[in-house]
Each structure stands twice: as structure tokens, then as C-alpha cells.
Structure 1
Amino acid sequence: MPTNLRTCDLTDPLGIEATRPVLSWRLTGAATQTAYHVRVDGLWDSGAVESAGQRVVYGGAPLASRAAARWQVRTRDAAGRWSEWSEPARFELGLLEPGDWTASWITHPGWYDEGGDPRVGEGRPLPLLAGEFITAGRVTRARLYVAGLGVYVASLNGSPVTDAVLEPAYTDVTRRVAYAVHDVTALLREGRNALGLALGPGIAHVFPHQDRYMKFYGSKAAPKAIAQLEVRYADGSEERFRTDAGWLAGEGPTTRSHWYGGEDYDARLEPPGWDVPGADRSGWRPVVALPGATGTLRARACPPIRVTEELPAVEKLTATDGTPVFDVGTVIAGWAELRLDLPAGRYLRLVPGDQLDAFGRVIQSKPTTGAPIFNTYVTREGPQRWRPSFRYDGFRYVEVQGLPEQAGREALAGLVLRADNDVIGRFETSDPLINDIHRIIDRAVRGNMYSVLTDCPHREKLGWLEQTHLLFDVVAYNYDVAAYLRELLVTIAEAQTSDGLVPDIAPEYLVFDGAFRDDPNWGGAMVRIPWQMYRWYGDASALERHYDAMARYVGYLTGKADDGILRHGLGDWFGLDDTTQVPLVSTWGYWRAAGTLARAAVVLGRDDDAKRYRALTDAISAAFTGAFLKDGRFGGGGQASQVFALDMGVVPAELVPGALDELSAAVRAGEITVGEVALPALYQVLTRAGRHDALYGFATSTSHPSYGYQVRNGATALTEAWDGPTRGLSQNHYMLGAIDAWFYRGLGGIGQAPGSTGFRKLLIAPAAPGDLASVTARTATPYGEVGVAWQRADGAYELEVEVPPGSTAEVRLPDLGAARAPAAATAVGERAWEVPAGRWTFGARR
């Protein structure tokens, strides 16, 4: 029976905006699907469709706002037998048109200025908004549609409406504000109810506070919110409650919140029961209701940010001056939560950071975390818990100044926040160092997986784009990001300028100058991500939606090029070799974007475009060779220059073996000089050439520069620089984490056969370099989980492969002796076999 039914790559989503949603499923067992039959209750019946596809576009009449449906699928196997109908899945559409909103944006009058003065409200406590309403019967269904600027927390009758936090998602709020839809049926009471909205400024309103760190300052919108509650009663009647001029506004206990600098909270100012029916709001004022402005509202179509881990402090330390410092054991991004029992009126200051100085105090500086960053809390009487509501920090250590000496380590815990994309990857080897490298890379990915992929969770919190495509595989092997990346692409497309430029960050809250705004290896995300999603998930919808934007960007680069050479950009960022020329790096990025667009055009049947962009790609290659090849070497002769040339395939054939030998020897010796742009290409070049021993040598190195150097010097998340733990800078930065893709693809052997999309045909080709004794790797594909586990000892090698239903696999064994394959395997080459779905064991012995 089909399982894991999903709509738009989400499980039972509420509030999608796709009027023809994509429906997908997985199979159980090892049977081959030859046909499917989908039915969407009362809306569409596909009938029997002869196809092995497990992803179909809803084919009924276009869906309207609020449409809700259950759907099921059954499949037929090769013997002609139909499965039972699957368990039903559900989906529901949101509000598709501005006219569907009858609610108004509202705010506190003290935070509103008709002329848009951003200074209005500063110095005042943050707003609380409340509205009461009466339900006239037994409620059978209730949906809350809600959004805010910059961050809101919604409650109904005193209870949170969701466990999602830091809502809404990062967007350019002048173009799109992400609203959420919540099923609040269980929270409603018959009779009087109350809806509450607590507001914070978030990144939409960063005010220049002189006592706090700020990456930038500026206001796109002061705090405000909109909410619409739609109720259906048991008798079939419906009623709507909304934010409007009848709501009241008060001042909350959060006296200040700054996206970068910190949050201040006075628990003594908490209005008791402010968000429950019948609360005393006699001192509150009528809200300001703002007209119109619902045209920018769009449903959030990916998982929200949630608390995904809770890490109690592992130790309470004491600095030399007596300051208590809590250690949660690893560098994280999220909240430090106080858990106390104290009298009222004690002032506490929480100072977060990733490292400690020689005196045991938290290190904060502009190049590391930014400074000063701190949160403050004034206690109320009795047991209490507190953490910020409208911002987050990056930290491992937290100074708590003003804490009574008797408070133990249980007084603080770390709450890890990230976009709640499902964890799908597992990687482990017999080498503890490699396991630790995988762990610190994954921790850094988690620390930067917010509503956009950020570069660090403290100093910047910005969506720098190069990581999104250069490290696509690192993220996708470990997390299900199909819906997440589709939403991210919308954000990137919205940042594109009228002349085709894609800026280096999206959303573009801060407009940088020169190469920090315009680099093809950053803006190239607009072209690369749709293609990577097609290859990884077998989903061409991103290519179709964003093809014109992709073409505009390549056209922009072409307009900037000088006879095929791009001369602007950041170069191979954080490289250790100053001979790598910026035009060489940028031209490689231009070549990559043009070649990707050519392949996208083929998929979309745009044959004329494909021919034109293939010609452009060839012209760039020729220009690259003409400009940078001198005396048998490219550019300044450094590693990055040779890596880019090898990746492009422009190194003369007679020079390729020598270039690979030279590169392999340096990598094996741990003498890497490339930066973050060339690093993924280096792994790919050496992997394609089968130089796994060289990569293994680097993976197990502990001298600088190396991942092992970071591990041995105490890194618990990947750092910004190779020598980050001893040099400083950000201690939570995943830009150098490209080796994790080689862990899965090289050591685990999990890849795709040429021409395959969505892992329909797997290529399982694990390497067994050096003295590595075992590897276990698993990830999820659109068809299900693929697993590889191999081990060797005493001259014997055994490989176990799990191929999900709907896929096949070509399995290639390393040359470790006489090979053994299962009887069901079909030989397709030397030491290579093809197998269908199932679990298979291969072996070799010297």
C-alpha cells in the first residue's frame, strides 16, 4: 500500500496556495509500480494511469481559497495486482486573493505615525493587542490566518496557537509577508473567547540603539499584525472574527527587542491574563487599524522555525572575577532559557557567546559575534521561566550577571531553533575524527537553517547566497528541504533587480557596495538551485517558475562580461592563495550559470534557448582558456585556478594526469589553499577522478588547515576559518563544510546514475580509502530511504545496500579482491551490477 503521502512536499499542509498541487507518495515492499490511481474526494479522479511515476499534478478544476480535500492513491504492480487504497492524506488552501481578507492590519497607537517616522514607539514597551469575541454554538472547525511585522506571538484563550516561533519568515516585507494558517478548533470555547497578539520588531525594524550591536539599522515596517479567525458551527453556519478597530492595545513586559543587540524583559510588568476572556484592560487604548495592504500576504509554504532540541547546561563555570557562566556543551543557535525561583526585582543580564577568554568570561567582538549583545531579565516573584520571544542568539556559553550564588547549572538551558525540516541523513564511520567532522558540519548547518540559510546566527543573520548552491548537497543529504528550498527561491527571485542583478544576499535588507552585492558565485544561486532541485527531487516546477529569472541573470552577466570574461567579484572567498585571480573565479561562476541554464532549457523543451546557451558556455570556456592558460598552468598557478580549469574540462588532455597528481598530493598532505568557492569543486574534481585516498588524507589531517584541526582545538560547530577555534571569527559557519557531501557520496557511495533525476536510478559506488574499516550512510530520496553499510576486516569486504521501492541501483565495488554479488544482480561492467529495489549484500576477498 502506498505510504508517506505528501502535498507540495508537505504532510497534510494547511494554507497552501497551489491551485494545482503536486501529490506524491512512496511504495512499500519491493514491487514495481506500473500504474497509479489517485482520487481527491469530490474533486478529481485520475482513473488508472499507466506510469511508474510517484509524483502527479492534481488534474481537477483549479482549487479556490479555503478548499479542503482528502486524497488517496493505489498502485498496480508488474503482475497486474492493485494495492489497497492508501490511508487518506489531507490538504487545505489558504486565502488566495487580497479580497479574501476582511481583517485589518492593527498596531498600538504609540507605535504608529501617519508619516511613517520609524522613531515612533522607540523607548516604549512592545505592544500587546487583544480582541474578544463570542462563539454562538458548538464549533466543528476553526482556522486562524495570521501574520505580523516584524515578529508576532499569537495566543487564543491564553494558550499559544502554535509551536512555531519567530514568525513570520524572512521576506522582503515590501513585496511579500508570509502568513500562517492554524487549526485552532480545540482552543475555542463556546461563548466568550480572546485572541492575543504580542508584537516585536524583528529584522523588519532595526533601530540604532547605541548600547547594542547592530549589523545595520533601518526600518521597512514598524510592528503590526493581522488575524482572521473563521469558524464553522455544528449546524453548518459560519462566522468570521478579525482584527479591526474594535481591538485594544496595551504595553507588554518586553521593554525592548533588537534583532542583533538583545531583548529586555521585566516580568513584573506582565499583565495578568491579558489574552484570556474578561481580562482587565481598563488602561488599554483602541488600536490603530490600517487600511488595505493585504496584497502582499502570501501563505508560508515550508516548515516553520521550531525548538528542535533542548540542551540543559552541562556545567556552571565561574570566571576569575566570580561571574557565573553556563555551558550548554556545544555551539548552537536559539534561546538561552532561564529557569529560576527568585523574589521579584532582581536584574539579570545574559551575555551569550561562542568562546571564553583567559579569565573565563564570554568573548564578544565585532569579528566574532558582534558586540555588545545581551538580554536582560527582571524577575517576578516565585518559580519562573524566561527566554526571548522576538529574536535569537548564537552561543555556547552564557554569562548571567546578577544571578544568586546558590543557583546551580539547572538554572539555564539552551533551546535550539531552526527551520523544522525533517532530519533524513545518517553518517558514521569507524574513524571517530571523521564522525566528529560530520557532527560539527551538521551543527553549523542547523545553526544557520532559519527561514533562509544564514552565514552565522549572531554577527550577520543574513541570507548570503553562495552557500545555498555551493553546499546544496551537504544540506540535502541531511535534511528534507524540498519545500524549504522552493520557498527560498521565491525570496531570491524577489530580490532580483530590474536589470537582472541577483544580489549576494536575499532578502536584501542591507544593500552592500561593489562585489559584496554583485558576485556571480553568489547571485548564481538563482540559476543553480532550480536545477539542483530538479536533479535531486525530480521536480521541474522550480525550473518552470523561475526560468525567466534565470535567463535574466545570465543575460545580466553577459552584459557585464568583457569578451567572455567577468572581472568583478569577491574571488575565492577565504582562500589561502593570493595568486587566485578574481576574474578567473568569476568567469567560472559565469560558465557554470550559462551551462546550467542550457541544461534547464533542454528539460523544458526550449530547444533554441538550449542551443544558444550551449554556444555561450563554449564561448566562455574558450575565453577562459585564452585569458588564463599560460605555460601549461591556469591563472596564477595556484590550486583554485587548476581546480576551476579541471572542473570546466579545459585543461589540455596531456596535462590532466599531471594536474590531478599535483592536486592530489597537496590535498593528501593537508596543504589545501582553496577558499569556499573552489572547495566544493575540488572535492568533485577529485571524486570524479577516483582520487579518494587524497581526500581521505585531508579528512584525517589535524594540522592547519583542516577540519581535524578544528575538532582537535575544541570546535563543536564548523567555524568560519580553517583555524577558527584558535583565530576567532564566527564559531558557527557552514561555508567550508563541502566535505560532508563527499562523506555521503564518496565514502558512503550514495549518488545518482548519469541522467537520473530524483534518485530514480541510484549509483552506489563507495570508496574504501586508507585504513577506514567501516561506513554507514543513509538518506531519504523521493522514493524512500537508501542505505549503505560496508565493513572490512582480515582481507574480507562486505557491502549491504538498501534500494527503495521505485528505484533501481547500479552497484560498483572497490577493487578489494575477488567480488561476490547476489544472484538477483545483473552484471553491467567490471565489478558493477544492477539490482532492483530491496536489500542486497555484496562482498570481496583478497
Structure 2
Amino acid sequence: MVTNPRTCDLTDPLGIEITRPPLSWRLTGTATQTAYHVRAGSSEGAADLWDTGEVESADQRVTYGGRPLTSRAIVHWRVRVRDAAGDWSDWSRDARFELGLLDAADWTAAWITHPDWHDPGDPRAGEGHPLPLLAAEFTLPEPVAAPVRARLYVAGVGVYVASVNGRPVTDAVLEPAYTDFARRVAYAAHDVTALLRSGANAIGIALGPGIAHVYPHQDRYMKFFGSKSSPKAIAQLEVTYADGSARTFGTGADWLATDGPTTRSHWFGGEDHDARLTVPGWDVPGTDRSGWRPVALSGDVPAALRSRACPPIRVTERLPAVEKLVAKDGTAVFDVGAVVAGWAELRLDLPAGHHLRLLPGDQLDAYGRVVQSKPTTGAPIFNTYVTADGPQTWHPSFRYDGFRYVEVQGLPEHVGADAVTGLVLRAGNAPVGTFETSNSLVNDIHTIIDRAVRGNMYSVLTDCPHREKLGWLEQVHLLFDVVAYNYDVAAYYRELLVTMAEAQTGDGLVPDIAPEYVVFEHAFRDDPNWGGAIVRVPWQLYRWYGDTSAMETHYDAMGRYVGYLTGRAEDGILGHGLGDWIGLDPATPVPLVSTWGYWRAARTMARVAGVLGREDDAKRYRALTEQITTAFATAFPQGGTQASDILALDMGVVPADLVPGVLDRVCEAVRGGGITVGEIALPALFRVLGRAGRHDALWEFATATSHPSYGYQVRHGATALTEAWDGPTRGLSQNHFMLGAIDAWFYRGLGGIGQAPGSNGFRRLLIEPAVPGDLESARASTATPYGQVTVSWTRSDGEFTLEVEVPPGSSAEVRLPALGLDRHTVPSGAAALGERAHEVPAGRWTFRSSR
């Protein structure tokens, strides 16, 4: 059977802007695909747009090549495949995709805002005023002409919450996505057909400033202040009827504005809400709006409107407080059990007029109060809430916090633990990975790394959800495999690349953060191991998902960045940068680390150019790579720091006869708890030692509990990975994933899930689990473009059992570990490649070794 038909790596996307999108599918069973047949039409089952006929190919990803598509086009498509026996499958379910508004002329609506928030000459317009509510009513005919389709296209600068007839149009929150709001605003398309009714209808939009408009406050923390634009919104509702007629309702001069109950929202410092000021029925038809004011039309938005092409941020978990603590001074502190990012939701039944102050934080002090300081969460950060009368529920809507604890000042003593729930937010990338071993400490390490990834997976990958909330780029590519083993990020990472390309300067520089909301100085703006993400990520998307589109789209930007680095290098050596950030050995030279990043970018460009058939470029970049390699080997002789050894091994510049000794030196340090590398060299450490088969050394580090180690964090109470090895006792952020590189080794090393040489998109798997130390079992699973791959192994009493599930469309080379067991039971159907290596096609396979 054919399953999971997707467009642009999304299920039935609405409002996309790619007119020739990639179409992909998966298979069930074990048969091999030898041909496919795709049909696409303007209605279910039709083929009036495209019919490929029977194509001899094993590809499960093709580009739509049918009739040209225009704005609002709806395409239904399905696929069937043929197996090696010549039998055709049934057709897949009808998948669909719908294009958005492709041209600026498609937008007839206007940007609007509250008049108090509109002063083009004053970047602080709106400061001191409540956040706006915007609304308008329109009328639809009686049911005899009921709409068959209604689409709401909506965007905002800042943060918006849209509703139709009092009901939210989506479960997405904190819309729109991070962009450079002066250049691009991401709009969303929503199917609101079911929300409409005959007669009077209403659209409502609540607005907040978000990160687009961070104005200074003396009483609240702020990482930076500055404004891309004050809050505003645009919305266009298009209603289509059965007879083909259509009506459009959009934001414009007929809309009205009023003050909402949220009196202030600051992206970093907090949000204030007075429930007594709630405007009943503000977004439903029939409400008296005689006291409202006409909106201001805002013509100062030069940004292009572009559709969001990846999953939005959603509430993904609800964590009720596990305990209500009472600090020594009697203040109530609620514990949701884990460090998370999102909203603290209040559920209360109180009289009106209680003034509450909520302080989020990751740690408690000796008095039981929430810890806030600039090195940890930033300070002061607090939300305030004034109660209305009776049962009520509230959480911030226009910002978010990082927290485990919520200190609530002003709360009556009788209120119990059920008053606070943690709503965990993150980008809605589907979880695809699982990992578990017989060692509980290792399992806990995986858990805290995953929790930190989730805590920073917003519309960009942030460094922390409280102090900065910025898209620092080194984690995006250095930890790509950590993220991708655990989540489906094909569409998400393509969108991250768009923000990087937009941030690139005219001279080719890609700044360390994207979008670049604040311009940092020197290395904090210009480091090749941060900016290099624009080169590495397209290659990583190709290797992981078999998708060349990012390389094709961003090839010129990638080349400009390598050219920028070349212009700053002297004789192949790049001298500027942050070095091996947060490393414990300050002796590692900054030029060594930066030159390694330069080498990696040049080497990647050579590979990309080769895949895309740009042979002249590939030759030029290979020559550049060799030049950098020679310069590095000359400038940085062996015997330096641990990071120096690791990066030299990664580059292959260590003479062959010296490699074993250098590996021994690194392993001795790793085994002895003396790891000194920072976040740049750390992924290379796991890669180099894993490639060399030195898994026992990595295992000793994985199970260590002294500082520095992951186990130290677990043993000292970390529930998410922290910013430093000794984060739980040192402070700093308690929700950082930049040191999480070991999780890739968990999947690739202990779980054994990798790719065979020359494979892309996991077409050919390499299953090679390591069985180090006293580990008795491991199980790992992740999704590939062809489906789920699962590896599970156990050992006991001189016997080793390995179970492998290979998805249809893939094959696998299975390599059994060398455990001193000389009797191997191999399943029928496995082809021998050596004594302990076998080739298997799709299916479930069990291998056993014994004495």
C-alpha cells in the first residue's frame, strides 16, 4: 500500500506558494517499488492537471510537473506504485494542496491598527496604551447559497490572535513566525468554512507587539530594545459559493478598534492583564461597538507577505503543577515538574480585584523563592493578572516564558496546586524518534536533551526561552542530527534557511543570529561556526531527506558566504571568531576553531556543487578546501588542546602514524572526566571517536556523574539540559541544548542507526550498534523519508540478539559488534558481506550471536 502522501513534506498544506512542489509518499510491506504513477486534478480522482503515466523509477519523491498553477489553486493528487513482480498497488488516498496568494495584487485588504498605536514618526507609538482589539462584521446570504469554501488569509506584525464569530481560527499560537518584519511577514491561510453562518458574522484580531516592537521599560528585563514596526494586522476572507461566485471581506477603513484587557506586553519582560477590562463579545456579531474608534490604516509596511511553509507553534503538552510550595515568607510557588517553555495558565475562582504577580523561573533560592538574574533568566521578568469575579482562566497570549516554577504573589492561601498548569509550546514538528537503554542515567540524559530541544524549538531554534529568545545559528547545523533524529524538520529547516538568507548582508556576511533583530559587535556577529549554517543546512537537508531544493534555492547565498570568509582569511587561516564557545580550556586558539569552520564550509560547498552538477565550482571549492587544509596543518602543529586534537582529526590532517596516539590521548581525557571542549568541538568529538570505534571511552563519559559531564547535570536535578556542564549548581540558563551532541551518538552509536557510505535520504541504512561497557540493551527508532527504522538489541549470558526493522524503499547493511562471540545465527534472506556484515532488504530481521 502507498501511505503518507505529502506535499512539501507537509500533510495537505493550505496556502503554500511553491507552484511546483515536491510530492512524496511511503510504502507498507516489503515489496520494492520499480515504478510509480501520479495523477493530479482540480477535484478528487481527476487527472486534468497532471498524469505522469507509468514511470520506471524507485523514487518516492517527485516534483509536480503538471499544468501551471495560480493563486488559490486546489490540487488533488494520488499515486500508485508497481513492485518487482509487476503488480500495481491500489491508489493512495487523495492528497491535496492549495496555493495561497502568490502576487501582491491578490491582496485587496489593508494593514490596520489602533489609532493610538499608529504614528509613523514615533517608533515608540503605543507605549503606555492597552493592546488593541480590532473587529468588523459582514453578512452572508441565507443557507440556500451557503459557502462551499471560505479561506481567511491573515498576518500581523508583532503577535496576533484571530477569531471568527468568537472562535479561534487555528490552534497555532504566537503567530506570525519570526521574520525580519521590515522585509517579510509570514501569513497563514485558514479554512474557516465551518465557522461561518448565514446572516451576520464577525472577524476579530487581538494584537500585541511581540519581538517586532520591543520598546524600553525601566521596570522589566529586556535583552535589547528596538522596533521593526509597531503592531498591525491584515486579513482577507474569501468566500466561494457552489455556483462559483465569490465574496471578499478584508481589513480596511470600516473596521473598528478598542482597548483590550491586556494593558501591556513586553517580549522579554512580561505581560499585564486586567480581567475586569474584558470586552464581552468583542469578536462576535451584534455587539454594540458604538464606543469604538475607527482603525488607522497603516501604509508603512514595505514588507512582502509570504506564506508560512512549516508547522506553526502550538500547545503540545499540559503539565499540571505537581506541587504548591510555600516559601519561607509565605509566598506561593508552583512547580510543574520540569523546566519548560510556554505559558503558565491560571485557573481561579476568586472575587474581582485580586492583583497577582507571576514570576517564572528555573530555580529556587534558599528561601524557596524563584531565582531571577541576568545570567540566568534575565531580571526582572513577571506577568501580572487582576482577577475578574468568579471562575476564570488566563495565560499570556502575546509572549512566552521559560520556567519550572511560578511564584505567584498576592494569591489567597486557600488556593491549591490545581491553580497553575504549564502549557508547553513549541513548533509543531512531529516527534519521530525514540531512544531507551537499560541504563537509567543514559535515558535521563536523553530526556533532558530532548526537553531542551523542545524548549527552544520555536519559529526559529533559540538558545534559551527566557534571557535571549534569539536564533543563534551554531546549534542549527552543529546539532542538526540531534534535532532530526527526534523530530520531522524537513519543512521547518527550509524555513530557517529563509531567515538566514534574508539576514545575509550585501558583502556576504551571515550574522550569528537570524533574524538579526539586534546587531552585535565583532565575533558575536561574525563567526564562521555560526554563519556557516547557511552552507551546512542545505547539505544536511539533502543528506537526511534526499531533498536538493534547499541547495538549489540558496546556492548563490552559500557561495557568497564562502567568498566572504575567503576575503577575510589570510593565507588560508581565518583569525576572527568566538572560538570553542564555553570550552573549559581557554588555550584553544580562536583561529584554529575558525579555520576549521571555514574548511567545513568550503568542503561542503565542493560537495554541494558536485551534486548539483556545477563541476567548475566543485573543482574550485575542492582547491580551496585543500588550501585551507594545508594552511591549518602548517599553522597548528599537533599536541595542543583537546579541541585542537579533535578538530585536526576531523579534518584528517593528523599524519596516519600519529592518529592512534592522538586518539589515545583524547580517549584518556574523556575516560578520566577531563573533557575540556566547548560546543563547537563537542559534536566533532562524538563523530571522530565514534568513527574510530572508540565507543568505550564515550560510554565512560556518558555514564560519568562528576563535573564536567551530562550525568552531573542529571544528578543535580536538571530536567532540561543546561547552558554549562555544571549548570544546575553554577546557574546560567537551565534550558539550553547547545551541549546536546551526545544524543546523536545515542542514536547512531548505541542505537546503530546511520547511513551507508554514498547513501542520501537513508535509502541505504548502515546498522552498526556499539555495545560498550556494561550496557545490556538499547532500542532506537526514527523516521526516514521511507518510513520508520527501528533497532533493538540485548545481551546477556554470552548471547547477543539484534532486531532490525528496515522500511520499504530502503535496504540495510547490518554489522554485528565484535563481542568475542563466534556463532552467528543469520536470518534467511540476509546476504553475507563478511563474517559479521550482512545486507538485508526491507522487513524485520533478527540476528543472534553466541559462544
Q: TM-score, normalised by structure 1?
A: 0.99
1:806 aligned onto 2:809: yes
CA distance in structure 1 between the partners assigned to 2:827 and 2:11 by the alignment:
37
Deviation at 1:119, TM superposition (A): 2.0
Pick from 318, 321, 324 the counterpart of residue 326 of structure 2: 318
CA distance in structure 1 between the partners assigned to 2:64 and 2:127 by the alignment:
49
- The 5 Å alignment of 1:42-441 reads 42-115=48-121, 117-136=122-141, 137-291=145-299, 293=301, 296-441=304-449
Give the secondary structure class of the aligned counterpart of 1:133. Answer: strand
CA distance in structure 2 between the partners assigned to 1:289 and 1:517 by the alignment:
36
The amino acid that maps onto 1:100 is D
CA distance in structure 2 between the partners assigned to 1:384 and 1:821 by the alignment:
63
Unaligned runs of 5+ in 2: 42-47
1:786 aligned onto 2:786: no
- The 5 Å alignment of 1:466-505 reads 466-505=474-513
Give the secondary structure class of the aligned counterpart of 1:193. Answer: strand
**Residue in 2 that maps onto 1:830:** 835
Deviation at 1:216, TM superposition (A): 0.1
CA distance in structure 1 between the partners assigned to 2:563 and 2:656 by the alignment:
31
CA distance in structure 2 between the partners assigned to 1:8 and 1:826 by the alignment:
36
Q: 2:130, 2:262 within 8 Å by CA — same for their partners in 1?
A: yes
**Residue in 2 that maps onto 1:25:** 25
Q: 1:331, 1:394 within 8 Å by CA — same for their partners in 2?
A: yes
The amino acid that maps onto 1:10 is L
CA distance in structure 2 between the partners assigned to 1:237 and 1:648 by the alignment:
64
Q: 2:182, 2:303 within 8 Å by CA — same for their partners in 1?
A: no
CA distance in structure 2 between the partners assigned to 1:249 and 1:711 by the alignment:
51
1:546 aligned onto 2:551: no
CA distance in structure 2 between the partners assigned to 1:20 and 1:90 by the alignment:
13
Deviation at 1:235, TM superposition (A): 2.8
The amino acid that maps onto 1:831 is R
- The 5 Å alignment of 1:582-731 reads 582-629=590-637, 632-633=638-639, 637-731=640-734
CA distance in structure 2 between the partners assigned to 1:479 and 1:294 by the alignment:
35
Q: 1:104, 1:292 within 8 Å by CA — same for their partners in 2?
A: no
Pick from 451, 457, 466 the counterpart of residue 443 of structure 1: 451
CA distance in structure 1 between the partners assigned to 2:123 and 2:565 by the alignment:
37
The amino acid that maps onto 1:641 is S
CA distance in structure 1 between the partners assigned to 2:100 and 2:601 by the alignment:
35
The amino acid that maps onto 1:79 is A
Q: 2:183, 2:302 within 8 Å by CA — same for their partners in 1?
A: no
Give the secondary structure class of the aligned counterpart of 1:829. Answer: coil
Give the secondary structure class of the aligned counterpart of 2:577. Answer: coil
Give the secondary structure class of the aligned counterpart of 2:53. Answer: strand
Measured against aligned partners, the alpha-carbon deviations of 1:285-326 in whole angstroms (never above 9, x if no partner) come to: 000123484761000000000000000000000000000000
Give the secondary structure class of the aligned counterpart of 2:633. Answer: helix
**Residue in 2 that maps onto 1:772:** 775
Q: 1:455, 1:463 within 8 Å by CA — same for their partners in 2?
A: yes
Deviation at 1:579, TM superposition (A): 1.0
CA distance in structure 1 between the partners assigned to 2:339 and 2:689 by the alignment:
31
CA distance in structure 1 between the partners assigned to 2:448 and 2:146 by the alignment:
51
The amino acid that maps onto 2:754 is G
Deviation at 1:578, TM superposition (A): 1.2
CA distance in structure 2 between the partners assigned to 1:611 and 1:495 by the alignment:
28
Q: 1:135, 1:192 within 8 Å by CA — same for their partners in 2?
A: yes
Deviation at 1:747, TM superposition (A): 0.1
Measured against aligned partners, the alpha-carbon deviations of 1:457-505 in whole angstroms (never above 9, x if no partner) come to: 0000000000000000000000000000000000101000000000000
Deviation at 1:584, TM superposition (A): 0.3
**Residue in 1 that maps onto 2:45:** none
Give the secondary structure class of the aligned counterpart of 2:55. Answer: strand
**Residue in 1 that maps onto 2:44:** none
Give the secondary structure class of the aligned counterpart of 1:171. Answer: coil
**Residue in 2 that maps onto 1:531:** 539
Unaligned runs of 5+ in 1: none
Give the secondary structure class of the aligned counterpart of 1:221. Answer: coil
% identical equivalent positions = 77
Q: 1:334, 1:417 within 8 Å by CA — same for their partners in 2?
A: yes
Q: 1:206, 1:217 within 8 Å by CA — same for their partners in 2?
A: yes
- Following TM superposition, the consecutive aligned residue runs of length 4 or more in structure 1 with deviations greater than 6 angstroms are none
The amino acid that maps onto 1:339 is R
Give the secondary structure class of the aligned counterpart of 2:766. Answer: strand
**CA RMSD, 1 decimal:** 0.8
CA distance in structure 2 between the partners assigned to 1:692 and 1:200 by the alignment:
50
CA distance in structure 2 between the partners assigned to 1:372 and 1:542 by the alignment:
41
Q: 2:507, 2:564 within 8 Å by CA — same for their partners in 1?
A: yes
Measured against aligned partners, the alpha-carbon deviations of 1:580-626 in whole angstroms (never above 9, x if no partner) come to: 00000000000000000000000000001101100100010000011
Q: 2:182, 2:301 within 8 Å by CA — same for their partners in 1?
A: no
Deviation at 1:114, TM superposition (A): 3.5
Measured against aligned partners, the alpha-carbon deviations of 1:328-386 in whole angstroms (never above 9, x if no partner) come to: 00000000000000001110000000000000000000000000000000000110000
CA distance in structure 2 between the partners assigned to 1:418 and 1:295 by the alignment:
26
Measured against aligned partners, the alpha-carbon deviations of 1:209-243 in whole angstroms (never above 9, x if no partner) come to: 00000000001110100000000123321100000
Structure 1 residues 466 and 342: CA distance shift in structure 2, 3 A? same
CA distance in structure 1 between the partners assigned to 2:299 and 2:73 by the alignment:
27
Give the secondary structure class of the aligned counterpart of 2:54. Answer: strand
Deviation at 1:668, TM superposition (A): 1.6
Q: 2:346, 2:395 within 8 Å by CA — same for their partners in 1?
A: yes
Q: 1:761, 1:810 within 8 Å by CA — same for their partners in 2?
A: yes
Deviation at 1:61, TM superposition (A): 2.2
CA distance in structure 2 between the partners assigned to 1:581 and 1:130 by the alignment:
59
CA distance in structure 1 between the partners assigned to 2:389 and 2:629 by the alignment:
70
Q: 2:321, 2:337 within 8 Å by CA — same for their partners in 1?
A: yes
Which piece of structure 1 moves more, 200-209 or 131-140? Answer: 131-140
Measured against aligned partners, the alpha-carbon deviations of 1:699-723 in whole angstroms (never above 9, x if no partner) come to: 0000000000000000000000000
The amino acid that maps onto 1:264 is D
Q: 1:98, 1:295 within 8 Å by CA — same for their partners in 2?
A: no
CA distance in structure 1 between the partners assigned to 2:68 and 2:686 by the alignment:
45
Give the secondary structure class of the aligned counterpart of 1:47. Answer: coil
Q: 1:780, 1:786 within 8 Å by CA — same for their partners in 2?
A: yes
CA distance in structure 1 between the partners assigned to 2:127 and 2:653 by the alignment:
58
Q: 1:101, 1:294 within 8 Å by CA — same for their partners in 2?
A: no
The amino acid that maps onto 2:14 is L
Deviation at 1:174, TM superposition (A): 1.1
CA distance in structure 2 between the partners assigned to 1:290 and 1:511 by the alignment:
27
